[in-house]
Structure 1
Amino acid sequence: MIKMRKGALTLFESALYKTASAVVQGEDAVLIVDPCWLPGEVEEIRRYADEAAVNGKRKYVLFTHSDYDHIIGYGAFPDAEIIASAALAGKSAEAKAELEEQIRAFDDSYYLERGYEIRYPAVTHAIEGDGQRLRLGASGSLELTFYQSPGHNDDGLYTVVEPLGLLFAGDYWSDIEFPYIYHDSRLYETSIAKLDAMLEAHAVTRLIPGHGSSTTDRAEMKRRQTADFAYIAAMRAAVRAGDQAGIDALIAGCRFPRNLRKFHRGNQTLFERELREEREAGGRP
């Protein structure tokens, strides 16, 4: 699974959806980010983290958001402290149960068995607002700064890991996927606009999306942000105009079109609903 090993950072890539997981090593702390997908993949990440957590290093698991593919490995790390947004921590019992059921349904679909219990994460450190910081380990060798990122879903969290300059983005700024918007397109725009503030406030050396390839090139980070803004603006305009051909053209040339078309249609449905709500509230036609 290891896609890259550079200094304190090891990046893993699942065989499914090019989903990224990571292990970051500090002097007395090990940070695991979104361990997933398949049982053997989660086990490989767990073993790697355990080998890194020598001499009493404390383990932490960071969940960038609550989509079931990102929290699926939670039960494999019972000895770790859990970091996530307060919105993720505060989900209703019904919402938590639904996400657990999504994991079980996925496993049943492929006859998968896991060596750990399927459970929704119990969060140790619930993060609120932008700019909150958390030092890991007794010495604080890794310092995390957080920014809320709702839009894709309702509980996303960006995390900058210093002094390494790593930006864990969750399901934003992929080089494979256009914006997948399950929650709110306006909030999605607000969240991706935060890249500018993070690049200004931190010496970001690598942006790591939840799916696809990371990048160390700031121009590429901005290119992805610009492309995402453009997709949202074009989709909103085409939906408002009832231009189905224009909507379909937005993903012309995308990789993996048979699957991505499904998410594009989901975006269209969300934008249509937002337009209806705007009109019902008396907004402009």
Structure 2
Amino acid sequence: MIQFKNDFMTVFQSSLFQTTCTVIEGKDFVLVVDPNWLPTEIEEIQTFIAQIQGKKELFLLFTHGDFDHIIAYKAFPGAKVIGSKGLQQHPNKQQKVNLIHQFDNDYYIKRPYPIAFPEVDLVVEEDGQQIVIGDTTITFYLSPGHTHDGLFTIIEPLGIWIAGDYLSDFELPFIYDSAKAYVETLQKAVRVLETHTVSVLVPGHGQTTTSKEKMKRRIQNSQEYLESLISAVMKEDLEKMASMEKEMPFPSSFTKQCHEENIAIIRKEFLK
């Protein structure tokens, strides 16, 4: 379904995990970010792109290599792929592909395209790296923490910030890579807002926002959560850690596992 739309951007939202896919239409290009999840949802995105692309060049941007974000890579043949060096050199490519196959097998899903890990054509290696297409400038910032291969993407002059799996309106930080890196990425997010004129923020899961105050608050919420959890772990405050698990929206075995992994990574990094 379409969650958000303006003159140059359409955000689709999957029924699963409120995962977003952003389609941006520039004068000279169409950029598709993290197309996902279900075949009918991907078909809706494909149909939309076929209506707007014309002779414009098609780009695929993957914010990181989690399987839900790369699941429709092969649904857009001929597109140039943008990703971080961490994505290009991902150490667990086959595992991610296996997770897609497992998901499809679990739910008897057939896809009309092959499953593969993205092959990156345009590699982002450092903060501030840019791609210029006509009068559009796309600026990238490495955003490790959730995963090692994450990217923030700023598209100007449209004022779009694609945040990947950060800055959701409901989802608390999930740390799969590094708590210290996550803290630094949130500090980088503050600088992004100070450096760029951002008019719309799209998270990987949850609602798009055009409010600068909400963007700031989402950063603060993540910072406060991590500060509290790091403090609780360092003090071995089991009661506080247990209460913070209850703060996870949509409580489930999945969120319980994510909370436990957050604690395990913090222990590893801060209690050496």
Q: Which TM-score applies when normalising by structure 2?
A: 0.96
Partner amino acid, structure 1, of 2:255: L
**CA pair 253-122 structure 1, distance change in 2 beyond 3 A:** closer
Q: Deviations over 1:201-252 (max 9, x none)?
A: 2110011100001111111111111111111111111112221210122244
Q: Deviations over 1:24-57 (max 9, x none)?
A: 0011200001000111111211221122111x10
Deviation at 1:141, TM superposition (A): 3.6
Match of 1:244 in 2: 238
Structure 2 residue 139 is matched with structure 1 residue 145: yes
SS at match of 2:81: strand
Counterparts of 2:51 and 2:11, CA distance in 1: 15
Moved more, 261-270 or 207-216: 261-270
Indicate if the aligned counterparts of 2:37 and 2:72 stay in contact, CA closer than 8 A: yes
Match of 1:156 in 2: 150
Indicate if the aligned counterparts of 1:100 and 1:120 stay in contact, CA closer than 8 A: yes
Structure 2 residue 24 is matched with structure 1 residue 24: yes
Q: Map 1:257-268 to 2 at 5 A.
A: 257-258=251-252, 259-268=254-263
Q: Deviations over 1:250-280 (max 9, x none)?
A: 244543122433321221222223244x2xx
Identical counterparts, % of pairs: 39
Structure 2 residue 14 is matched with structure 1 residue 14: yes
Q: Which TM-score applies when normalising by structure 1?
A: 0.92
Matching residue within 169, 189, 193 for 2:187? 193
Instruction: Name the Cα RMSD after superposition.
Output: 1.3
Match of 1:121 in 2: 118
- Runs of at least 4 residues of structure 1 off by over 6 A? none
Indicate if the aligned counterparts of 2:190 and 2:219 stay in contact, CA closer than 8 A: no
Indicate if the aligned counterparts of 1:149 and 1:155 stay in contact, CA closer than 8 A: yes
Count residues in correspondence: 271
Deviation at 1:196, TM superposition (A): 2.1
Structure 1 gap ranges (5+): 279-285
Structure 2 residue 226 is matched with structure 1 residue 229: no
Indicate if the aligned counterparts of 2:4 and 2:208 stay in contact, CA closer than 8 A: no
Counterparts of 2:64 and 2:227, CA distance in 1: 24
Match of 2:42 in 1: 42
SS at match of 1:103: helix
SS at match of 1:235: helix
Counterparts of 2:81 and 2:68, CA distance in 1: 16
Partner amino acid, structure 2, of 1:256: F
SS at match of 2:132: strand
Indicate if the aligned counterparts of 2:13 and 2:21 stay in contact, CA closer than 8 A: yes
Counterparts of 1:270 and 1:182, CA distance in 2: 8
Counterparts of 2:135 and 2:58, CA distance in 1: 13
Counterparts of 1:196 and 1:263, CA distance in 2: 25
Structure 2 residue 33 is matched with structure 1 residue 33: yes
Structure 2 gap ranges (5+): none
Partner amino acid, structure 2, of 1:41: E
Deviation at 1:124, TM superposition (A): 0.8
Counterparts of 1:23 and 1:204, CA distance in 2: 17
Deviation at 1:61, TM superposition (A): 0.6
